[in-house]
Chain A
Amino acid sequence: MPGILKSLLKNKAFLLMVLPGAAWFIIFAYLPMFGTIIAFKDFRIHPGGFFKSVYESDWVGFKNFEFLFSTDDAYIITRNTILYNVGLIALGLVLAVTLAVVMNELLNKRLAKMYQTAMFMPYFLSWVIISYFVFSFLNVEKGVFNQILAYFGADPVSWYNETKYWPYFLILLGLWKSAGYGSVVYLAAIAGIDKSLYEAAMIDGASKWQQIKSITLPQLKPLMIILTVLNLGGIFRSDFGLFYQVTRDSGALYPVTNVIDTFVYRGLTIMGDMGMSTAAGLYQSFVGLILVLTANWAVRKIEKDYAVF
Chain B
Amino acid sequence: MKSRKMMLTLAAMMLASTTALAGCGGNNEGGNANAPKNETNNTGGSAAGEANAGGEDEAKLDPAKLKVYMIGGPQRDLPQVQDEMNKYLTEKINATVDITMIDWGDYSKRMQVITTSGENFDIAFTSSWAFDYLPNATRGAFMPINDLLDKYGQGIKENLDPRFLSGSQIDGKNYAVPVNKELASQWVWRFNKQYVDKYKIDVTKIRTLEDMEPYLKQIKESEPADITPLAVPKGFKPYVPFDFLLGDEFPVGINLSDKEGKYVNILESAELKSSLATIRKYYQAGYLRKDVATLDGIDNIKTGKWFADREQTQPYADLGWSRSAGYDIVSNPMQDPVIFTGSATGAMHAISANSKNPERAMMFLNLLNTDPYLRNLINYGIEGTHYKKLSDNVIEDLPAMKDGFQMPGFALGNLFLTYLHKEDPADKWDAFKKFNDSAIVAPSFGFNFNPDPVKTEVASISAIVKEFYPSIMTGSVDPDEYLPKAIEKLKAAGLDKVIAEAQKQYDAWKAANGK
Contact = CB atoms under 8 A, between A and B. Distances in A.
Indicate if A touches B (C-beta under 8 A): yes
A86 B398 CA distance: 61
Contacts of B452: 42
B458 interface: yes
A306 B116 CA distance: 42
B261 interface: no
A44 B458 contact: no
Interface string B233-267: 00000000000001101100000000000000000
Interface stretch (A5-13, A48-56, A211-219): A48-56
Contact of B118 (A48, A66, A139): A48
Nearest to A252: B471
Nearest to A51: B118
A87 interface: no
Contacts of A47: 118, 353-354
Interface stretch (A68-76, A114-122, A176-184, A193-201): A68-76
A99 to B, nearest CB: 33
Contacts, number: 122
Nearest to A270: B462
Given A50-B117, A249-B466, A267 B460 contact: yes
Nearest to B225: A141
A267 B456 CA distance: 9
A274 B141 CA distance: 13
A283 to B, nearest CB: 14
B456 A251 contact: no
Residue picked from B140, B455, B471, most chain A C-beta under 10 Å: B455
Interface string A231-263: 000000000000000001111101000100001
B460 A45 contact: no
Interface residues of B, number: 45
Contacts of B456: 63, 66-67, 70
B205 to A, nearest CB: 31
A266 B465 CA distance: 9
Interface in B81-114: 112
Nearest to B142: A45
Contact of B293 (A251, A266, A276): A251
A46 interface: yes
A141 B459 CA distance: 35
A72 B492 contact: yes
Interface string B454-481: 0111111011101111110000110000
Residue picked from B246, B459, B477, most chain A C-beta under 10 Å: B459
Contact of B462 (A66, A140, A266): A266
Given A46-B353, A47-B354, A268-B462, 15 more contacts: A42-B452, A44-B139, A67-B460, A70-B493, A70-B494, A71-B489, A160-B294, A250-B293, A250-B470, A267-B463, A270-B247, A270-B250, A270-B451, A271-B455, A272-B112
Interchain residue pairs A-B with the least CB separation, the first 5: A49-B118, A267-B459, A45-B140, A251-B467, A248-B294
Interface of A: 42-53, 63, 66-67, 70-73, 139-141, 158, 160-161, 248-252, 254, 258, 263, 266-274, 276
Interface of B: 112, 115-118, 132, 135, 139-141, 246-247, 249-250, 289-291, 293-294, 296, 353-354, 451-452, 455-460, 462-464, 466-471, 476-477, 489, 492-494
30 contacts: A45-B139, A45-B141, A51-B118, A67-B457, A67-B459, A70-B456, A70-B493, A71-B464, A71-B492, A72-B489, A139-B291, A158-B291, A160-B291, A250-B293, A250-B471, A251-B469, A252-B293, A254-B467, A266-B462, A267-B462, A267-B463, A268-B459, A269-B462, A270-B246, A271-B135, A271-B455, A272-B112, A272-B135, A274-B116, A276-B455
